[in-house]
Structure 1
Amino acid sequence: MTATTAVVVGPAPQIAPPARAVGPARARTRWTAWQSRVVRALSVLTAVGVWQFLTAEHIRLWVRFDTLPTVTRIVRAFRHQLGTDTYYLDLGQSLIRILTGFGLAAAIGVTSGVALGRSRWFADVIGPLTELARPIPAIAIVPVAILLFPDDEAGIVFITFLAAYFPVMVATRHAVRALPIIWEESVRTQGGTRWDVLWRVVLPGSLPGVFGGLSTGIGVAWICVVSAEMISGRLGVGYRTWQAYTIVDYPGVFVGIITIGVLGYTTSAAVEFIGRRVTHWLPRGEETTK
């Protein structure tokens, strides 16, 4: 009897080693993350180096690199722009437009997406209108925006709002409709009301899809706000980029392009960062690959 007990109790300490293996696993994860950052940095530096070589050597393949400015000329132009007030004025104007239009699109898009996903009446009345308007490019509405609004500023914000609204609305609608019905039934069986289902099931459960739509929407919004600035704006990064092209300032054109890229990357990364914090309960890639 005692021998049997010793056999049962004896192996218990062998459970400890997996807990001690967590340290090396985290170290490997950190090392992999650093490797990923290094590879990404090298890819960007390689692309810059190839651009410098092709433009400095006046290479002509299928495209004419000899007509484009070198990296060194673009850097000099960028340094000059950073020393002017106009650059920061354009930067601030574009950011105000994008944040205003995207903020409206996020609020209205999430609200209408939830309504379309939850209400049959709302889907029957509003759904056909959204589906008819959704395939129309937002930039094609520029003439209508000029006619609708008394100033260019409101028209550009309206175009930005339209560009971001549809990705947010569609992603939210799909996320709401994809929720398992058993989640709603479990709340209702405990006496929950429709508002309980909305706050405890629909909104938390659809958050991953909502932030996917927000990330897509901010990218599309930048495309359209820059295009609208080029067509009807008087300030902004898009307007300044087009103006540089009209006066044959090609390094200035690339200063605008790079600025737009950095702004788009920063705002998209901010949306994704907020999404990760809000949906911190979701398993991440490192956890699912173990």
Structure 2
Amino acid sequence: MSASLKRSTLRAGSVLLCLLFWQVAASQQWNLLLVTFANVPTPLAVVQAAVDLIDSGKLLQHLVASLGRVFSGYLAAIIVGIALGVAIGRSRWAEDLLLPPLEVLRPIPAVAWIPLAILMFPSSELSMVFITFTGALFPILLNTVHGVEAVDRRLIASARSLGAGRRAILLEVVLPGAAPSIITGLAIGMGTSWFCLVTAEMISGQFGIGYYTWESYTIQNYPDIVVGMLLIGLLGMGSSLLVKRLGGLLTPWQRSRGNA
């Protein structure tokens, strides 16, 4: 058996063990010290809820609404986060001017932005995009700053001695050197965008996976809650993997270094 097949088998086995534990604990309504499974739906109940959601025809509407909000906020966070990160990482003046207020805003949870987002934006759609934007911004920003600051100064000095201007140094030395850290920030930012989705869609009264999950909670429809949670988890995981794969294609020198 090849090493890759062994790893795939091990990973599949771990998922199956988790599902088995979930089925037994929920069906037997276990009480484990601080955790109780008395009201937790079984995997079979969750599967039935997922089938009912698909049959209702609303799944596509929820997916389209959530994907539009997440990727709109995420793309805006990429532009702002990388631009600010490069500026802060390259300039002490920008660091002293921009980093302190950003550090004050960074620990604020997404749910705390809801009242202000409602007041700031003319529509609930823009408010939800803003919440996902704030979730993705800071991982991208901080990883960009760290990546830019970690670029070997000798490479910059060498490029400058060969006659490279500021633009050439930025595009051909700084950004390629910081790319692995930036890609890590992009992957984390994608995950946090989905993490903030439920918070963002609490504003909405229409469609979205986060709204579906929150609505299921308010009417105490427990299997549907788990369906929504799993959809967010799978979409977030898939999106983060996609970002990492695209990042790997854009940084082939990192793969070569890893193989070496």
TM-score norm. by structure 2 comes to: 0.94
Q: Write the letter of the residue equivalent to 1:97.
A: R
Quick check: 1:171–1:212 contact (8 Å CA) kept in 2?
Answer: yes
- Residues 218 and 199 (structure 1), Cα distance of their counterparts in 2 relative to 1, 3 Å cut: same
The residue number in structure 2 matching 1:270 is 242
Kindly state the Cα deviation for residue 233 of structure 1 after the two structures are TM-superposed: 4.8
Name the SS for the 2:254 alignment partner: coil
* Alpha-carbon distance in structure 2 between the residues aligned to 1:202 and 1:101: 26
Q: Percent identity at matched positions? A: 39
Kindly state the Cα deviation for residue 121 of structure 1 after the two structures are TM-superposed: 2.4
The residue number in structure 2 matching 1:108 is 80
Q: Write the letter of the residue equivalent to 1:181.
A: R
* Alpha-carbon distance in structure 1 between the residues aligned to 2:42 and 2:132: 33
- Residues 283 and 128 (structure 1), Cα distance of their counterparts in 2 relative to 1, 3 Å cut: same
Name the SS for the 1:192 alignment partner: coil
Q: Write the letter of the residue equivalent to 1:66.
A: A
- Residues 189 and 285 (structure 1), Cα distance of their counterparts in 2 relative to 1, 3 Å cut: closer
Q: 2:233 is matched with which residue: 261, 264, 267?
A: 261
Query: Per-residue CA shift, 1:72-131, capped at 9, x if unaligned?
Result: 111111111112221110111000000000000011101110011112222222222212
Write the mapping of 1:6-21 to structure 2, written as runs, cut at 5 A: none
Q: Write the letter of the residue equivalent to 1:95.
A: L
CA RMSD of aligned residues (A): 1.7
- Identify the range of structure 1 (241-250 vs 146-155) with the bigger mean alpha-carbon deviation: 241-250
Write the mapping of 1:120-135 to structure 2, written as runs, cut at 5 A: 120-135=92-107
* Alpha-carbon distance in structure 2 between the residues aligned to 1:131 and 1:45: 42
The residue number in structure 1 matching 2:17 is 46
The residue number in structure 1 matching 2:163 is 191
Larger CA Rg, structure 1 vs 2 = 1
Quick check: 2:248–2:255 contact (8 Å CA) kept in 1?
Answer: no
* Alpha-carbon distance in structure 1 between the residues aligned to 2:115 and 2:58: 27
The residue number in structure 1 matching 2:38 is 66
Quick check: 1:89–1:236 contact (8 Å CA) kept in 2?
Answer: yes
- Identify the range of structure 1 (180-189 vs 128-137) with the bigger mean alpha-carbon deviation: 128-137
Gaps spanning 5+ residues in structure 2: where? none
Gaps spanning 5+ residues in structure 1: where? 1-27
* Alpha-carbon distance in structure 2 between the residues aligned to 1:254 and 1:286: 39
* Alpha-carbon distance in structure 1 between the residues aligned to 2:256 and 2:54: 39
* Alpha-carbon distance in structure 1 between the residues aligned to 2:257 and 2:52: 42
* Alpha-carbon distance in structure 2 between the residues aligned to 1:273 and 1:60: 42
The residue number in structure 1 matching 2:7 is 36
The residue number in structure 2 matching 1:141 is 113
Tell me: higher relative CO, structure 1 or 2? Use CA pairs within 8 A at least 6 residues apart. Answer: 2
TM-score norm. by structure 1 comes to: 0.85
Write the mapping of 1:56-95 to structure 2, written as runs, cut at 5 A: 56-62=27-33, 63-95=35-67
Kindly state the Cα deviation for residue 34 of structure 1 after the two structures are TM-superposed: 1.4
Query: Per-residue CA shift, 1:155-210, capped at 9, x if unaligned?
Result: 01011111111110110011101111110111111111111101110111110000
